[in-house]
Amino acid sequence: MSDPYERNLVNSDFYHSKADISCRIVVVLEGMLDNRGLNLIRPISRAFSKGTVIELIGTDDPNAMPGRKVDKISYIGFVELSESGVLLVGDEVQWKGKPIGRIAGFDDTHMPNHQNTIVYLKKRISGKELGINLNDEITIKGFNNKELSSTEEEKVITSKKIKGK
């Protein structure tokens, strides 16, 4: 069977609209590494069931994207998804309604225990340093391409970056 990601057949243009996913912080992390060695998988999306726990890991590496290696990271925290949904590279991650970054990709190191979800941040900072607390709300923003806003325009740019345009 042929992998559509290996053949560059799938990109974010296939996603017309996507629902928000609400999450709550179940573990706040602190710490940074300069040599983590995360291997971001080629698929640009991951589907999760309600109640799934994923790890959010930050990076300020501008080249962080599917198929790339990421070394410089900060630990943000673990979140429990409040509903089922799909996370997509380029999705905005919000804490208390304010953007903190965008999903850069996924790493399978700890699967099937949990998915590492890499978040591109302007500056590497840990969850503790951000001031995140247990039970704080994290939202992975959805979109509707019929109503293209500046946020969705950034997703289009991210999509083109992934496709190499």
List the one residue out of 58, 33, 70, 71 whose CA is nearest residue 123. 58
Asked, as a colleague might, if the bond just before 112 is cis with ω within 30 of 0, I would say yes
The domain locations on the chain are 19-158
**Could you give the CA distance from residue 12 to residue 160 in angstroms, rounded to a whole number?**
9
What is the residue whose two structure tokens read 């070394």? 71
- The arithmetic mean of pLDDT across residues 5-26, rounded, is 86
DSSP 123: S
Q: Is the pLDDT reported for residue 80 higher than 70? A: yes
Q: What is the pLDDT of residues 40-69, one digit of tens each?
A: 999 999 999 999 999 999 999 999 999 999
DSSP result, 19-87 = --EEEEEEEE---EES---EEB-S-SEEEE-TT-EEEEEEE--TT--TT-EE--EEEEEEEEESS-EEE
